[in-house]
Chain A
Amino acid sequence: MTTAAINPEPPVVRRVEVTPSRPGAEEFAARPDAIKLATDNVSIMYGQKVAVRDVSMTVQDCSILALIGPSGSGKSTFLRCFNRMNDLIPGASVQGEVRLDGENVMEPDVSVVELRRRVGMVFQRPNPFPMSIYENVAYGPRRRGQNDRRALDELVETSLKRAALWDEVKDDLRRKSGLALSGGQQQRLCIARVLATDPEVILMDEPASALDPVSTLRIEELMRELREAYTIVIVTHNMQQAARVSDITAFFTMAEDRAGYLVEIGPTGRIFTRPSERLTEDYISGRFG
């Protein structure tokens, strides 16, 4: 009896809840006119070190792409090539083509300011500015010269409503600091802040990893609603989350030289039930990573 109590429990096969692939996900992938984002042989280097190697993929308009894979497989680094946030990291360089609506965003004459307006980003750690809720949401529009009080009021309201935060904050928009909100509310505020800039694509870098389960579910619900109008790319460590919210899943892992690469990409339902690659299967069944 004593020994039995000390023994670890037998390994439980981690089960992944699978949402049936949304109807049309396969056909969707075949329509070239609906391609919102595309990468061609994208490699990202930090100095001499290759962080991401040779990733080519397409992302459909109004869909959710989940990037999954073990830590260090380059998912977040890859995500940041869509809005060129890698430009901010000293020594980082990106090769290959990243296209938004067919236009290569890596061209030197592309305005990153304009690019980032169209491709918004939500970070892992909720990072509202230490300003009022109102000013947080109005930040993007104001920087583009929108100073009309009534237009801003309206924009702040619709953005907060879309981010499912309006009812909780409408009474002290101007008095309460964004930092006074709970973690989950802060993250929804960050989403509202992005929505106010009227983007077409929203990148989310593990948006729920710092949140409790209830807040996580709210963010996931929100993502599904936003999918109607936006293309979303989400990095997540949580496979259930990928299975629950995404239409397409891309699995990244590390090569022997520790460079991340894309193993396979496909409709989420298929990736989680019949992956083509052994590596993917091992990862999603919990044998690796």
Chain B
Amino acid sequence: MTTTAGRAIGNPSGPKPSLRNKTSRGSILADRAATVALWGTGVLVILILGAIILHFALAAWGVVSLSFILSDPSETTLGGIFPVLWNSVYMLALTLLIAVPVGILGGIYMSEYAGENPITNAIRFAEESISSVPSIVVGLFGLILFVDDFHWGFSALGGALALTLFNLPLMTRLSEQALRAVPQDERSASLALGATKWQTIRHVVLPLAIPGLITSVILTAGRVFGEAAVLLFTAGVGTPPHYNFLNFDLTSVASPWSPFRPATTLSVYIYKLQSEGLGAYVNQIVDGSAAILISMVLIFNLGARYLGRVLTRRLTAV
């Protein structure tokens, strides 16, 4: 009696439910379609990226060599790219030197101090809007301000400042988001232990936000390496002279260390060659430069991630 009664509760009279699929055909189809579509999109993205890299790798084959990287430019022979590569690195360093501290401090302010009110929300909206202003417009602004009004002429510093204007809003916004992603619990734990607000930011929030902050630096760096439009009007377009690295006179336009010299970067150089280059080797130089540009971005990203990991370790476990 008890045993039958016990069974009757779980399964009154009817046949036992089968494990065979009773899910409707529509939802099975939708499930499969979603799987195929998402896999397909992923594969497509990888294929496109792979094709671009493969194209430049093949095109650059036979062009890129140590001497290509290390020699001075020439369009009539297979000239090198050393000065413009140097300028790209220089411009990146100068821009990050200005943009990273300001961007991260701004992000800290927006995340930890500013709070949420109509004014700060307007700032956030402005940050997102300004970062989508076309770079050519930023370039024109830089031309008016740095080149003309400041009488700097074309200069690396003007270029770096224009790039900073271009990147700072996004950098600040991304930094803020990275800091906000740190759980409130961590802040509470630190404050409850009698740490001050700044100690909490310095020792808990910043270390935990490093991966996100590194991402914002990498995105900025990618835009600096790749940017041509902003620099056309601010840092200048030309074929740089032979640089003498022993010239440390920072006021001299011939010194590769000076921020007040025109500084054609690699991407601007590609633009210049492709649009007005006449020499026989132009196409090869452009292909080789593009391959180098892609590699530089890759190397920088990997390096930044590695640095981020080291920094996280240092900051969280002294």
Mark A residues whose CB is within 8 Å of B. Answer: 1-2, 5-6, 83, 85, 88, 90, 113-117, 120-121, 123, 125, 127-132, 135, 139-140, 143-144, 174, 177, 190, 193-194, 197
Contacts and interface: CB of A to CB of B under 8 A. Distances in A.
Contact of A1 (B1, B185, B195, B203): B1
Chief secondary structure at chain B's binding surface: helix
B2 interface: yes
B318 interface: yes
Interface string B167-211: 000000000000000000111111111111001000110001000
Nearest to B189: A127
Contacts of B208: 130
A130 B316 contact: yes
B1 to A, nearest CB: 6
A2 B5 contact: yes
24 contacts: A1-B5, A2-B8, A5-B5, A6-B9, A83-B192, A88-B188, A113-B196, A114-B194, A116-B192, A117-B193, A120-B193, A121-B192, A123-B188, A125-B185, A129-B189, A129-B316, A131-B316, A135-B316, A139-B195, A143-B195, A143-B196, A190-B189, A193-B193, A194-B192
B134 interface: no
Given A127-B185, A143-B199, A5 B9 contact: yes
A283 to B, nearest CB: 29
Given A1-B2, A5-B6, A127 B194 contact: no
B194 A135 contact: no
B191 to A, nearest CB: 7
B317 interface: yes
B106 to A, nearest CB: 21
A201 B115 CA distance: 31
Given A5-B5, A127-B186, A120 B204 contact: no
A140 B190 CA distance: 8
A131 B317 contact: yes
Contact of B193 (A1, A6, A197): A197
Name the 7 nearest CB pairs between A and B, nearest first. Answer: A117-B194, A121-B192, A140-B193, A116-B194, A143-B195, A127-B185, A1-B5
A194 B6 CA distance: 54
Contacts of A139: 190, 193, 195, 203
A125 to B, nearest CB: 7
B195 A140 contact: yes
Nearest to B8: A2
A128 B194 CA distance: 15
A131 B318 CA distance: 9
Contacts of B203: 139, 143
B191 A143 contact: no
A85 B193 contact: no
Contacts of B5: 1-2, 5
B183 to A, nearest CB: 8
Contacts, number: 78
A141 B190 CA distance: 12
A139 to B, nearest CB: 6
B83 to A, nearest CB: 45
B193 A194 contact: yes
B193 to A, nearest CB: 4
B318 A135 contact: yes
B194 A85 contact: no
B195 A123 contact: no
Contact of A113 (B187, B188, B194): B194
A143 to B, nearest CB: 4
A143 B317 CA distance: 14
Interface in B1-41: 1-2, 5-6, 8-9
Nearest to B6: A5
A200 to B, nearest CB: 12
Interface in B109-145: 115-116
Contacts of A1: 1-2, 5
A129 B204 contact: yes
Contacts of B1: 1
Nearest to A124: B185
A88 B193 contact: no
A14 to B, nearest CB: 27
Given A1-B5, A130-B208, A130-B316, A116 B193 contact: yes
A120 B199 contact: no
Nearest to B208: A130
B188 A85 contact: yes
A174 B313 CA distance: 12
A138 to B, nearest CB: 9
B189 A90 contact: no
A85 B192 contact: yes
B204 A88 contact: no
Interface in B89-123: 115-116
Contacts of A2: 5, 8-9
A6 B10 CA distance: 11
A19 to B, nearest CB: 29
Contacts of B115: 90
Given A129-B316, A130-B208, A120 B192 contact: yes
A139 B6 CA distance: 58
B211 to A, nearest CB: 12
A149 to B, nearest CB: 11
Contacts of B192: 83, 85, 116, 120-121, 123, 194
Contact of B194 (A90, A125, A140, A190): A140
A9 B250 CA distance: 89
A264 B116 CA distance: 39
